């Protein structure tokens, strides 16, 4: 598993969303701090605590092809000397075999500066009240 050193919380966040979109487990693992103090709450899911539970959830998620596109809209960021809080809207497009689904997820990402650089200690994601959009894909072509 590769471990990268992120010089800023923004670099860590960029790596987090790149790993999410690309289903890259090693990159995702490099973003998260090690230890029992980290937490992840996926939309409509229970709280996951500690490196093992959190990383197992991402490993499981990445075993299935996701077909995701994620665009981030920053709503709020505050960065201190050793703690950063990023509140963002994740505009997610999920491409399936015969449809495209678009949704907005509100997320809070918290990073801490430690000896390994900036690393994530919390990702909390919640669905927006904005309606999800699902569109069927149709084609005149023969497959």
To which residue do tokens 């709450």 refer? 41
Per-residue model confidence (pLDDT) at position 132: 54
22 found inside a domain: yes
4 found inside a domain: no
Provide the number of structural domains found in the chain: 1
Tell me which H or E stretch contains 68: strand 68-79
Whether residue 132 contacts residue 103, with contact meaning beta carbons closer than 8 Å, is answered with yes
CA triplet 112, 114, 120: central angle to 5 degrees?
35
3 found inside a domain: no
Per-residue model confidence (pLDDT) at position 54: 98
| 10-residue stretch averages of pLDDT, the chain, 143 residues long | 80 97 96 97 96 97 86 92 97 84 94 96 90 48 40
Q: Strands 39-41 and 47-49: what pairing?
A: antiparallel
Report the CATH number at residue 68: 3.10.450.50
| Domain that includes residue 63, residue range | 9-128
20 found inside a domain: yes
36 found inside a domain: yes
137 found inside a domain: no
> Would you tell me how many other CB atoms lie within 10 Å of the CB of residue 45?
10
């Amino acid at each position: 598993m590769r471990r990268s050193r992120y010089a800023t919380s923004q670099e860590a966040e960029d790596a987090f969303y790149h790993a999410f979109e690309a289903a890259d487990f090693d990159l995702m693992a490099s973003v998260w701090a090690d230890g029992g103090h980290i937490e992840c709450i996926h939309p409509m899911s229970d709280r996951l605590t500690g490196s093992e539970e959190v990383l197992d959830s991402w490993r499981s998620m990445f075993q299935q092809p996701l077909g995701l596109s994620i665009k981030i809209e920053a709503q709020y960021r505050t960065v201190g000397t050793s703690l950063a809080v990023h509140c963002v809207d994740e505009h997610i497009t999920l491409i399936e075999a015969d449809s495209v689904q678009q949704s907005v997820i509100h997320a809070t990402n918290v990073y801490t500066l430690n000896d390994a650089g900036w690393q994530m200690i919390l990702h909390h994601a919640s669905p927006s009240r904005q309606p999800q959009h699902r569109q069927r894909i149709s084609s005149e072509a023969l497959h």
